[in-house]
Amino acid sequence: MFLQQVINGLTIGSVYALIALGYSMVYGILELINFAHGEIYMLGAYLGIIFLAFFTAIGLTAYNLPLALFLTLILSVVFCASYGFTIEKVAYKPLRNAPRLSPLISAIGVSIFLQNYVMLTQGATDKVFPHLFGASGFQFVSVRMTYLQLVIILTSVVLMVALRLFVRNTKMGKAMRAVAQDKTMASLVGVNVDTVISVTFIIGSGLAAVAGLMVAMYYGLVNYFIGYIAGIKAFTAAVLGGIGSIRGAVFGGILLGLVESLGGSYISSEYKDAYAFIILIIVLLVKPGGLFGRAELEKV
Amino acid sequence: MAGEGLQFPTGKKIFVTARPFIIALWLSFLFLPFKGIRASLIFFFCSSIILFSFRYVSGFKKMFSGMTQSIRIKTRSSAFFSGRFPVVFRYSAAVFLLAFPLISRDYFIDIAVLAGIYIILALGLNVVVGFTGLLNLGFVAFYAIGAYAYALLNTRFGLDFWTALPFSVGLTVIAGFLLAIPALRLRGDYLAIVTLGFGEIVRLILNNWDSLTRGPNGISGIAPPEIMAVSLGKLSHYYYLVLVFVFLTVITTKRVYSSRIGRAWVSIREDEIASSAMGINTTVYKLYAFAFGAFWAGLAGAVFAGKMQFVSPESFTFMESVLILCMVILGGLGSIAGVVIGSLILVLLPEVLREVQLYRMLALGAGLVLLMVFRPQGLFGGKGVFIRN
């Protein structure tokens, strides 16, 4: 029972971690809580369903399932990244020098817009993701793990490692770290800040798309308001780990997944959604820097 | 910066002329998976025509600045609430407000009552966001607490409206103090998230504490207020009650705004560090702002519960918070007249545009973004939270 809940928590936690990475990266660079990030994840889930339906209609799914899934993944990521890129250009870039509340409210606007955009184009009812994998899996002593759970955890781990390598070792990654430290200074030494910010949004949105697709497969049901609550939880995860830190986002996400899954089975499942908020408030009160972050000093 | 709109990372000349088409093509590409090829093509043609005409008729930026200019001139010349408005008009407005229920249908009175409740809420939020500059995304929690407090006191203990009102408003103010404790430590966007979390926690409790709140079913059979043993269940009577409360709110917030406390709030909004250096106890004044804002939300909640005679958690979602925030921002943060007009616009608009009701929230979202990009101080606001001098 306990181990089973740990497995479930790890699965959902790794999804939270993937979304949290997007929050954390954007916050690290723009100091903006990208409220619309949860909606990108929701778009990812919807796009997954749409493209998979398309491939099923042209017969690719029956012919070669892994290929169809792979193409679905790629297309969802491409479209979500495009959405992320566009959102930044339209809603955040004109406000880059505005007071801090302006981009936040703009982000809330984008979030409401995207929710209703999806509701109007795709309908307000739940969408079903085709049941492809069944419940097949394997059994340790008393714990059951489905292949899908394994795939979700492995995909997340691979993406997180890849992101870490990217930020650590490539020129663009270096530029990102430079912009996160000091935008003006980075632009003085020849970093194109606009490009870096765009790339940040593209990567973050791509990760959210993967998360959305995997959750759609895992739960099988998608609706237009999943992005809001998932976004808040992922943000909590990012704050829990220390916003701006990649390692922090990953640990925060997994920790939150575990708390939710264990708390849901041992304390009360009705308040499952409240745990994230309670954790968030406690973390902000006790250790605002998060587990891996440094406390921010206010400059006068 | 404002008004740049879409700017794609190309410096080449052809792209400048073809930019409307490229933007339209890009947007319809984004639209493609959601509605199919045909809708996407239609979208492409429409959006490229619109974008192109913006560019060649007068230029998007110019057109918009002209529009805002005219609004500014109009507000300056009328100056409705500043006291310079001719006395005759003020009296006739008062007569109109008083005679309104006698000359109109129930449908319009109902909307007016709703508008009144929203005005009280928006003015309360304006104290926190507009005067003090603290973004509160969970304001609806106070509204919910006020409404549920009256609903429970009335249905469980049989207290009438006027006895229950001090308790429900008092409870809301205490909740305001409770939320203010984290608010004292956090800045800007972190505060926004914590208040949002508070709003959600309150809603989840209302939704799940079945033994007290009857969960998603809500509480029904709430008695409407009475005055001198006359029940105000009739809509037109209720209208006058709400009218009195709205005036009370407007006058009180106005008076407090121009008092020592109000000045302290504005100075915290403008520069917290400077104001604490000037000897203002920022912690205490932030606490006041939260409690004072919560006070009005509690009042609005009780009035709402008395009007509907039914409350359920469904009325107190995050979207409601956003709607109230929109009212404050649309009219102009910090401006009382602006907030009143903003709430009126957002309550009346969906009623006027019945057939496009589905698109209301879509337009609200897009409107928020446009407002922030082009006119962050709102339609009627002056310099304030969003404008740096």
- List the one residue out of A73, A119, A190, A146 whose CA is nearest residue B359: A119
CA distance B185 to A56: 53
B74 pLDDT more than 50: no
CA distance B313 to A26: 33
CA distance A115 to A113: 6
Residue A206's pLDDT band (cuts 50, 70, 90): very high
- Please tell me the predicted confidence (pLDDT) of residue B387: 46
Q: Give me the domain span that covers residue A48.
A: 2-286
A124 pLDDT more than 90: no
In a domain, residue A297? The reply is no
Indicate which CATH number applies to the domain containing A134. 1.10.3470
B chain contacts of residue A238, beta-carbon cutoff 8 Å: none
In a domain, residue A292? The reply is no
In a domain, residue A6? The reply is yes
In a domain, residue A298? The reply is no
- Please tell me the predicted confidence (pLDDT) of residue B104: 76
> Contact, A239 vs A284, CB < 8 A?
yes
- Please tell me the predicted confidence (pLDDT) of residue B76: 46
How far away is chain A from the Cα of B37, in angstroms, using its nearest Cα?
A: 13
- List the one residue out of A74, A45, A72 whose CA is nearest residue A208: A45
Amino acid at B3: G
CA distance B270 to B255: 20
Residue A281's pLDDT band (cuts 50, 70, 90): confident
Task: Transcribe B159-178 into DSSP letters.
Answer: --HHHHHHHHHHHHHHHHHH
Residue A216 class from Cβ within 10 Å (0-12 exposed, 13-18 middle, 19+ buried)?
Answer: buried
How far away is chain A from the Cα of B341, in angstroms, using its nearest Cα?
A: 20
B233 pLDDT more than 80: no
In a domain, residue A299? The reply is no
CA distance B152 to A175: 58
* CA angle in degrees (0–180, nearest 5) for A197-A203-A209: 135
Sign for the CA dihedral angle at B354, B360, B366, B372 comes to positive
Quote the number of domains for chain A. Answer: 1
Give B170-211 pLDDT, tens digit per residue.
999 998 888 888 767 777 677 888 888 888 888 888 888 888
Locate the chain A residue with the closest alpha carbon to B363.
A113
Locate the chain A residue with the closest alpha carbon to B130.
A101
Candidates A42, A101, A278: best to mutate against B (most CBs of B within 10 A) is A101
- Please tell me the predicted confidence (pLDDT) of residue B2: 44
How far away is chain B from the Cα of A289, in angstroms, using its nearest Cα?
A: 11
CA distance B47 to B211: 53
> Contact, A93 vs A102, CB < 8 A?
no
Residue B148's pLDDT band (cuts 50, 70, 90): very high
Q: What would the two tokens of residue B101 be? A: 């229920």
Cβ–Cβ below 8 Å for A104 and B189? yes
Helix segments in B184-281, DSSP class H: 188-208, 210-213, 235-257, 260-270, 272-277
Sign for the CA dihedral angle at B75, B76, B82, B85 comes to negative
B chain contacts of residue A101, beta-carbon cutoff 8 Å: 133, 135, 188-189, 385-386
Strands (E), A147-236: 221-222
Cβ–Cβ below 8 Å for B3 and A94? yes
In a domain, residue A239? The reply is yes
Helix segments in A170-192, DSSP class H: 171-181, 183-188
In a domain, residue A58? The reply is yes
In a domain, residue A262? The reply is yes
Cβ–Cβ below 8 Å for A101 and B188? yes
With tokens 């008062």, the residue in question is B94
CA distance B279 to B272: 11
Give every CB contact of residue B53 below 8 A, 6+ residues apart in sequence.
Answer: none
Residue A19's pLDDT band (cuts 50, 70, 90): very high
Residue B39's pLDDT band (cuts 50, 70, 90): confident
pLDDT-wise least confident of A99-108, B97-106, B374-383: B374-383
- List the one residue out of A100, A99, A55 whose CA is nearest residue A75: A55
B chain contacts of residue A198, beta-carbon cutoff 8 Å: 9
Neighbouring C-alpha atoms within 13 Å toward the C-beta of B40: 13
When pLDDT is averaged across residues B293-300 and rounded to a whole number, the result is: 92
With residue A145 as reference, give the H or E element that holds it.
Answer: strand A143-146
**Nearest residue, CB atoms, A274 vs list B190, B204, B372:** B204
> Contact, A23 vs A32, CB < 8 A?
no
Domains and CATH numbers, chain B: 104-374 (1.10.3470)
N residues, chain A: 300
Considering A18-22, A246-250, B70-74, B133-137, the range whose residues carry the highest mean pLDDT is A18-22
- Please tell me the predicted confidence (pLDDT) of residue A195: 92
B7 pLDDT more than 60: no
State whether residue B186 is helix, strand or coil: coil
N residues, chain B: 389
- List the one residue out of B353, B316, B51 whose CA is nearest residue B202: B316
- Please tell me the predicted confidence (pLDDT) of residue A78: 94
B290 pLDDT more than 50: yes
- List the one residue out of A55, A28, A85 whose CA is nearest residue A205: A85
Query: In this structure, what DSSP letter does residue B130 have?
Result: I
> Contact, B216 vs B204, CB < 8 A?
no
Q: Provide the percentage of residues in chain A whose pLDDT is more than 70.
A: 96
pLDDT-wise least confident of A75-84, A282-291, B23-32: A282-291
Cβ–Cβ below 8 Å for A86 and B27? yes
